[in-house]
Chain A
Amino acid sequence: MFYRENGQFKTTYTADQQIFAIAQDRWAILALIAFAFIGVPMLADEYLFRAIFIPFLILALAAVGVNILVGYCGQISLGSGAFMAVGAYAAYNTFVRIEGMPLLVALLSGGFFATLVGIFFGIPSLRVKGLYLAVATLAAQFFCDWAFLRIGWFTHGNPSGSVSVSNLQVFGLPVESPLQKYLFCLALLVLFALLAKNLVRSAIGREWMAIRDMDVAAAVIGIRPMYAKLSAFAVSSFIIGVAGALWGFVHLGAWEPAAFSVDRSFQLLFMVIIGGLGSIMGSFFGAAFIVVLPIVLNQLLPALGSLVGVEISTAAISHTEFMVFGALIVWFLIVEPHGLAKLWSIGKQKLRLWPFPH
């Protein structure tokens, strides 16, 4: 009833090709963004910002990057954590070494260097495919883990590889309190999500999808595999690099290489799987899910345990977390391989007819 598109006629190609072609979608998204900018700061407290919203925004940004590479271009990558690390440490170096470096430029330089590293480690993808490539991307992961731990130059000579930043500000405004950090991340996320969405709708996005669906056939119809694959690696690692820089600068403040270990790579991959491969929207769902689930389990399990009179230790909670994650991934792959994003679009489809089934 509320989600009918009857009567919304499109008379120009521009109108037909909007991101949100249905008026209700447009308004809903605008309302959501407005709520995120105005409503959430009024309602949420500091704990919510720190524990949920800021990690969610940054990981969603990273998941968008991973989704471009894995979901849109079909190059499975287990090395996303490495690109986050490169972004964080490169941003740190430009920020600390160059006097008066603005925060935004430092973050973008993190993205830039992540792009370079991403292209370098993407080169094998021209020759190696599928599972072999997935394992080959682990080379990036382990190399970066090692480099940031052992090469003192990256960490300004700190032997344990841990670094910290302070006094963040953008255009003269401080980014110190959780609220300011939240707004800063939100603004960046909205910007990058819009860019990414438009990119995957464009010619280059369609090239990526053609490569994903069958690279030999794509090459036959005139798509240059090298250009398509490397551009996917470049764009994806740029976004992941910026997310990594944000994770270090804004969320953690002080970090060490372990913050971007191979577990982070898997976590990003899970977000993309659970959220939906090949869907920008799905990246948000996946990130929200992965950020919220551990917190829910942490709260819920002790409560459930005390209900039946069993005390549940923290170790048991973390083991259960592992099991729930594992089971959920398998369950999603079996029941809904397109992830939460597919459920969302099924819901919308049903809503079109609601309340009359025909």
Chain B
Amino acid sequence: MAFFLETLLNGLMAGMLYSLVALGFVLIFKASGVFNFAQGAMVLFAALAMARFAEWIPQWTGIESRWLANTVAFVLAGAVMFVVAWLVERLVLRHLVNQEAATLLMATLGITYFMEGLGQTLFGSDIYKIDIGMPKEPIFAFASVFEGGILINQEDLIAAAIAAVLVAGLSVFFQKTATGRALRAVADDHQAAQSIGIPLNRIWVIVWCVAGVVALVAGMIWGSKLGVQFSLATVALRALPVIILGGLTSVPGAIIGGLIIGVGEKLSEVYLGPFVGGGIEIWFAYMLALVFLLFRPQGLFGEKIIDRV
């Protein structure tokens, strides 16, 4: 029982991290109809920027405090992501207005490759580490209830908390602020939004910026867990089943989808994996999402698409 609960909890927390990456996808899709395949590359790019700035800043300025260096690095990496967002809007999206969703998807595939190459050219392609001082020691909870207690990774706990705060913040931003309302208007209908004076281009830059910051946070957390290296870009492939399960247009969907996928992955790996040779996490997540899709083709919380001839 304790082992089951431990697996479940681990799954939930891994799921929170998937949601964080998935959130970037959902934000961009919600506000511009672009399925942003480049989110993984953005996570890698942001994490690389953050890791290298944190390393370079003490060399440049002689700042001793790790906390200060990390903060400055975070701000600088955020600024870099802003520039990326602006360039993407300027160079790519602006020219592809009113194209089909598939064309836009392929364009983001192009952006993915470009950013992976650029990131490693600018920041190097070794393995770097982000040290934001996360506690590494596991804690034992419920020691009185179960024998030996439940092992919880503190790092995961903090990451899950950061993810939760970010999601809450974004929900408020989307629901309560004027910019949030404008974003939702654009998502509903580009033309109608334009006709009441919402500047489409600026909205897109804002959305990609927000997605960039989400990527930065995700990259920071994943990077401090696993180290910053090329494989970080494949985190996006782990997050894809989350968004199709949750629905492409739903922020809560990304969270709940993430939790379902995280738990499904861990439980399947632990209880099913040994029978079939292990390593089934990644395809099991996709199969799980596929099963959900067969019953709800737009995902759990996606908008219903009505086709008209």
List the interface of chain A (C-beta within 8 A of B): 74, 76, 124, 127-132, 134-136, 138-139, 142-143, 145-146, 149-151, 214-217, 220, 262, 266, 269-270, 273, 315-316, 319-330, 333-334, 337
Contacts and interface: CB of A to CB of B under 8 A. Distances in A.
B188 to A, nearest CB: 18
B117 A132 contact: no
Nearest to A74: B102
Contact of B309 (A138, A214, A325): A214
Interface of B is mostly: helix
B125 A136 contact: no
Interface stretch (B55-63, B163-171, B177-185, B283-291): B283-291
A323 B109 contact: no
A292 to B, nearest CB: 17
Contacts of A132: 244, 248, 293, 297-299
11 contacts: A131-B102, A131-B248, A132-B293, A136-B289, A138-B286, A139-B287, A143-B286, A322-B120, A324-B117, A325-B117, A326-B111
Contact of B112 (A139, A217, A315, A326): A326
Interface of B: 35, 91-92, 95-96, 99, 101-103, 105-107, 109-118, 120-121, 125, 237, 240-241, 243-244, 248, 276-280, 282-283, 286-287, 289-290, 293-294, 297-299, 305, 307-309
Given A135-B286, A150-B276, 8 more contacts: A76-B105, A128-B293, A142-B282, A270-B109, A315-B125, A319-B121, A326-B116, A333-B110
Determine which residue in B102, B125, B241, B278 has the highest number of CB atoms from chain A within 10 A of its CB, and name it: B102
A53 B294 CA distance: 43
A343 B111 CA distance: 23
B107 A329 contact: yes
- Main SS at interface, chain A: helix
B152 to A, nearest CB: 29
Contacts of B286: 135-136, 138-139, 142-143
Nearest to A262: B237
A132 to B, nearest CB: 5
A262 B283 CA distance: 13
Contact of A146 (B92, B279, B309): B279
Given A124-B293, A150-B276, A319 B120 contact: yes
Given A127-B297, A135-B244, A329 B106 contact: yes
A72 to B, nearest CB: 13
A128 B244 CA distance: 10
Contacts of A142: 237, 282-283, 286
B110 A329 contact: yes
Contact of A323 (B91, B107, B114, B279): B114
Contacts of B96: 333-334
A217 B308 CA distance: 8
Given A132-B298, A150-B277, A216 B114 contact: no
Contacts of A325: 110, 113-114, 117
A184 B276 CA distance: 39
A130 B111 CA distance: 20
Nearest to A76: B102
Contacts of A320: 117, 121
A319 B107 CA distance: 19
